[in-house]
Amino acid sequence: MKINYSPWIILFIYLTRATHKLKYLQNELLTILHSSFQAAMNILVSNLSTHIIVSDLVQLFSVYGKVSYAAIVRDKTSGRSKGTAFLEMPSEAEGEQAILALHQCLLDGKQIIVQEIGYKPGEFNN
């Protein structure tokens, strides 16, 4: 005896199986992405000498890992350094090492303050 299934039942079964496969693939993809993801570390450096330039900071922090972004805050009218800089290091672990090693060290005769910040440097541009 042959059973005739309605086309709707066949479609339902097909979609159910496809949905389960998509959920499995989605979970696999999330696992892969999560394992390869490294959070970036945003760093604030303050009390800098006005003679320090970006390349000096990149060279100093590169000892502890890759620096993906570095900028010194400057006065809009005079262009002079305000003694503050923002850096981003792609690896959170390397950023933490840099902060521990460089916080309160002497740079060009001034004791610098190095700390993690919770926002991205370009976030508050006017």
Q: Are residues 108 and 55 in the same domain?
A: yes
Tokens found for residue 113: 């303050």
Q: How far is CA 17 from CA 3, 4, 6, 20, 22, in A?
A: 21, 20, 17, 5, 9
User: Which pTM does this prediction carry?
Assistant: 0.65
Q: Are residues 30 and 47 in the same domain?
A: no
Identify the CA nearest to 38 among candidates 93, 101, 97: 93
Q: Indicate if the alpha-carbon torsion angle 12, 14, 16, 22 is positive or negative.
A: negative
Say how many domains are in the chain. 2
CATH number of the domain to which 87 belongs: 3.30.70.330
Residue 123 lies in a domain: no
pLDDT in tens, 58-111: 999 999 999 999 999 999 999 999 999 999 999 889 999 999 999 999 999 999
pLDDT in tens, 12-57: 777 777 777 777 777 777 766 655 555 789 999 999 999 999 999 9
Q: What is the pLDDT of residue 126?
A: 46
Please say whether the beta carbons of 112 and 52 come within 8 A: no
Q: Are residues 48 and 30 in the same domain?
A: no
Structural domain span for residue 10: 1-37
Identify the CA nearest to 108 among candidates 73, 90, 81: 81
- The count of other CB atoms within 10 Å of the CB of residue 50 is 12
Q: Does position 124 have pLDDT exceeding 90, yes or no?
A: no
